[in-house]
Amino acid sequence: MAIFFIGFNGLQKLDNLFYDAISRVEERPTNKEILIVAVDEKSLKQLGRWPWPRATHATIIDILTSSGVSAIGIDILFSERDASDPEGDVKLASAIANSGKVVLVLGPESGGSGQDQLLSEVLPLPELAVEASMLAHVDIEVDKDGICRRVYLRAGLGTPHWPAMGLALFQVAHPNLSLPAVASIRATENPISAGWRRDSPILISYAGPPGHINRVSYVDVLNGHVPAGQLKDKIILIGTTAIGLGDNLATPVSSSHTLMPGVEVNANLLASILDKRILRNGSVKVEVAFTLLATLAMFLWLVLLPANWALPGLIVAALATLLASTILLANQRIWIPPTTPLLLQVALYIIWSWLDLGQQNRLSSLLRKEIHLQARHDVVTGLPNHHMLRENLKEILAEHAGENFKLSILFINMSKHRAVIDAAGASGIDSIRKQISHRLKQAIVGGDKVYRLEGEAFAVLILEPGSIAQLETVAARLVQSLLRPFELKEDYFSLLPSIGVANYPKDGTTARELSDNAYAAMHRARKHSFQRVCFFSDQIKSDVYQELRVIQELRRQNWQEQITCVYQPQIDVKTGRIIGVETLLRWHHPQLGNISPADFISLAEREGLISPLGNWTLSQACEQGQRWQETYGWKLRIAVNVSAIQFSSPDILNIVRNTLTASGLPHHLLELELTETALISNKDAIISTLLALKDLGVQLAIDDFGTGYSSLAYLKDFPVDRIKIDQSFISDMHISKESSGIAQSIITMAKELNMQVIAEGVEIQEHLDILRALNCDEVQGYLLGKPMSPGELEKAIRNGELQA
């Protein structure tokens, strides 16, 4: 671009504008050595019409010479003989010869416009020319915009051998001074071409606007009105200034359309030489170097500084370029047009901004892709996640809409025990998840896909699953591989897989329906201890519906009118008397019928709704116990189940205390039943809660003992009063040696730890007999009494069925 603009002068107009602006501010005092003797209107008035007789010019040359001028330049072309006055030519020739300081002018003959049209030169008459001290050309270059800025110090026909008028006058006036460097270039000897040749271009450094250079009227000199002292040692330029005579030129300094006479332009050239203010155009090499430097500076700025510095950079670079250009012109007398570098800087800025924008766009689209990818993938396993599953399902279903097409979706959950989590830590859990992911990927085939949903839940999408039997085989294979223990920190852990299967189109036609149903089936599999894989069915569907309804009802808190407490007797084995009751909930729903506490308690726990229900039960039970005591004097121990979540609430202590106070029940008559899971985590905090409860006087029992993971050894640090052997060990103790063995060891150990033992689920006499033989303290079960309403219980006692 730089070479194009410089080479083709494409931007000259703009450059000229800058140049002219700089020239105008550069005005300087007139050079006193130069004097123009002007052929002006005044002279024309007095001396008559132009041209004047040559004798007149001879006279003025004589006057000037005798006044002691240092050189005379006559900017009048004497190319033809004056036929009417041959004497005049002779006089002029002798005056020129006498003076010895006269420079005569010649010019190219214009056959048209432009340099190549100047095919010949017009010389002064030979008899004058030979007498002249020098001949000089007055060829002044006019730029395309009509303004005269430059002059060629040498020009001529064939070779540029004639000096410019200003240069010639300088040489005549100061033969001993050396020529300005640019003018001393030797013109080539051999003609280059037949046309007019120019060489050594310089820019005229105009001293000021037209009229700035000292002027006197021709006629005043002629009439002796100009004192000799004013002429002495001056370099005289004689030329026309009157309008209509000779050439008048537009210059950078001629403001408001005032033109400058050709003679003054030449005088300005002379002034430039005398003042040593010759301006030159920088060579193309210098111009290119300057341009590249300016562009490079801009480029470095853009590369090295942040993006938002680009525009200030452009402004700074542009100003610096203009400044450099001005300084070079003012100090170094070299004119380097600034437009090309300026334009390149702007171009660079635009290109850069555009590229930068492109890069930003590319970056942000990359980022978007990455975010999209991350949002649909699990970081730990690298597997696609549930968003991806939903998306893929939708795509596949849309693709095969209306076709006879089958698809199965398997939801897999790995239930892990707390101990595993505690032992593994976060990194260990990640490692286990990776192992699960690996095994699943190995167990599937072809186009089937594995997803990780959350926690230890995964999904497998099976396209074209074949028959149910084939699908069962696949599921069994998955279970097999997941049942193998997982390796972790040189240890092994087993997790329990539960798989729920939903089939398209039987179990659902939308992505959402299929996912929900597979999830429901998985949930069912999780609940069944013996069935690891569960296919979605209508039964599950209605159960799920039921569950949702129950959750709704729990949320709405409608249950208070529908739920009642029943009480199951607890009997002292030795005396056969009722010593306490366990409070159990019964929910009769007008539409849903009887809802088992085993179901709604776990739902309430899952949905975070257990605390209000539990607190309500506690106060119901306490009030009932107090009522019995007040009415009948029965000091029955009231056992209340407390769920793990309820127990871990920080205000459990306050709630128990307040409830006891409100009901008036003696503290030692309340017993809280806690399951092992409530006691397993954060042992210290639990012990302190238990101790606080003991301080209150409340009794504590461990429910369902034997089903959890803790041992009596672990529990010995807990201040509990009673162990409830889980009914699963009781129900078959009459046929299973193992169960009775377990019951026996629990009883033995409890005794050693000073704890009481109660057996629950005592259904037949045999159970009671065995337990009595094992020295069990208390029993509870259908054999001794079903859970009953307060009224039923009172009746049973009054009947003697139960001994108070």
Q: Which residues bind Ca ion (CB under 5 A)?
A: 641, 673, 703-704
Of 411 and 587, which has the nearer Cβ to ligand C2E?
A: 587
Smallest separation, CB 705 to Ca ion (Å):
8
CA dist 434 and 69 (Å) reads: 108
| 26: Cβ contacts below 8 Å, ≥ 6 apart | 205, 330
Of 295 and 740, which has the nearer Cβ to ligand C2E?
A: 740
Smallest separation, CB 548 to ligand C2E (Å):
20
558 binds, among ligand C2E, Ca ion, none (CB under 5 to 8 A by kind): none
Contact, 313 vs 302, CB < 8 A?
yes
Strand partners, 71: 235
124 binds, among Ca ion, ligand C2E, none (CB under 5 to 8 A by kind): none
Q: Is 463 left (phi over 0), alpha (psi -120 to 50) or beta?
A: beta
Residues near ligand C2E (CB under 6 A) = 568, 583-585, 596-598, 601, 614, 617, 641-643, 703-704, 727, 761-763, 781-782, 787
408 binds, among ligand C2E, Ca ion, none (CB under 5 to 8 A by kind): none
End-to-end alpha carbon distance in the chain:
113
Buried residues in 192-201 as b, exposed as e (16+ CB within 10 A): eeebbbbbbb
Residue 356 amino acid letter = D
785 binds, among ligand C2E, Ca ion, none (CB under 5 to 8 A by kind): none
Smallest separation, CB 587 to Ca ion (Å):
16
Smallest separation, CB 528 to ligand C2E (Å):
17
Of 104 and 672, which has the nearer Cβ to ligand C2E?
A: 672
Q: Is 215 left (phi over 0), alpha (psi -120 to 50) or beta?
A: beta
Q: How far is CA 591 from CA 187, 539, 549, in A?
A: 121, 18, 10
Of 75 and 760, which has the nearer Cβ to ligand C2E?
A: 760
Return the beta strands (E) in 112-173 as ranges: 118-122, 134-137, 140-141, 150-157, 162-163
User: H/E/C letters for each residue in 543-560?
Assistant: HHHHHHHHHHHHHHCCHH
163 binds, among Ca ion, ligand C2E, none (CB under 5 to 8 A by kind): none
643 binds, among ligand C2E, Ca ion, none (CB under 5 to 8 A by kind): ligand C2E
CA dist 93 and 104 (Å) reads: 11
Buried residues in 718-743 as b, exposed as e (16+ CB within 10 A): bebbbbbbbbebbbebeeeeebbebb
CA dist 549 and 544 (Å) reads: 9
Contact, 521 vs 535, CB < 8 A?
yes
Smallest separation, CB 664 to Ca ion (Å):
24
Of 140 and 601, which has the nearer Cβ to ligand C2E?
A: 601
Smallest separation, CB 671 to Ca ion (Å):
10
Residues in the chain: 804
CA dist 115 and 131 (Å) reads: 30
DSSP string, 458-492: EEEEEES--SHHHHHHHHHHHHHHHHSPEEETTEE
Smallest separation, CB 667 to ligand C2E (Å):
19
597 binds, among Ca ion, ligand C2E, none (CB under 5 to 8 A by kind): ligand C2E
Of 241 and 583, which has the nearer Cβ to ligand C2E?
A: 583
Hey, what are 735's tokens?
Answer: 């046929």
Smallest separation, CB 566 to ligand C2E (Å):
7
Minimal CA–CA distance to 673: which of 581, 574, 591? 581
Of 348 and 571, which has the nearer Cβ to ligand C2E?
A: 571
The DSSP H or E segment spanning 74 is strand 71-74
Of 495 and 578, which has the nearer Cβ to ligand C2E?
A: 578
763 binds, among Ca ion, ligand C2E, none (CB under 5 to 8 A by kind): ligand C2E
Of 365 and 789, which has the nearer Cβ to ligand C2E?
A: 789
Residue 27 amino acid letter = E
| 101: Cβ contacts below 8 Å, ≥ 6 apart | 65, 69, 70, 71, 72, 133, 172, 173
Smallest separation, CB 601 to ligand C2E (Å):
4
Smallest separation, CB 550 to Ca ion (Å):
21
787 binds, among ligand C2E, Ca ion, none (CB under 5 to 8 A by kind): ligand C2E
Smallest separation, CB 657 to Ca ion (Å):
22
Of 214 and 756, which has the nearer Cβ to ligand C2E?
A: 756
Of 95 and 585, which has the nearer Cβ to ligand C2E?
A: 585
428 binds, among ligand C2E, Ca ion, none (CB under 5 to 8 A by kind): none
Smallest separation, CB 573 to Ca ion (Å):
18
Q: Are strands 334-335 and 496-504 parallel, antiparallel or unpaired?
A: unpaired
H-type alpha helices, 68-164: 86-99, 126-131
Of 15 and 582, which has the nearer Cβ to Ca ion?
A: 582
Of 103 and 762, which has the nearer Cβ to ligand C2E?
A: 762
Smallest separation, CB 439 to ligand C2E (Å):
35
337 binds, among ligand C2E, Ca ion, none (CB under 5 to 8 A by kind): none
Q: How far is CA 77 from CA 37, 265, 300, 524, in A?
A: 16, 16, 57, 121
CA dist 790 and 625 (Å) reads: 10
Smallest separation, CB 523 to ligand C2E (Å):
19
Minimal CA–CA distance to 647: which of 659, 656, 657? 656
Of 717 and 766, which has the nearer Cβ to ligand C2E?
A: 766
Hey, what are 567's tokens?
Answer: 């009480």
503 binds, among Ca ion, ligand C2E, none (CB under 5 to 8 A by kind): none
601 binds, among ligand C2E, Ca ion, none (CB under 5 to 8 A by kind): ligand C2E
Smallest separation, CB 641 to Ca ion (Å):
5
Of 583 and 619, which has the nearer Cβ to ligand C2E?
A: 583
CA dist 613 and 607 (Å) reads: 12
200 binds, among Ca ion, ligand C2E, none (CB under 5 to 8 A by kind): none
699 binds, among ligand C2E, Ca ion, none (CB under 5 to 8 A by kind): none
Q: How far is CA 79 from the centre of its chain?
A: 80
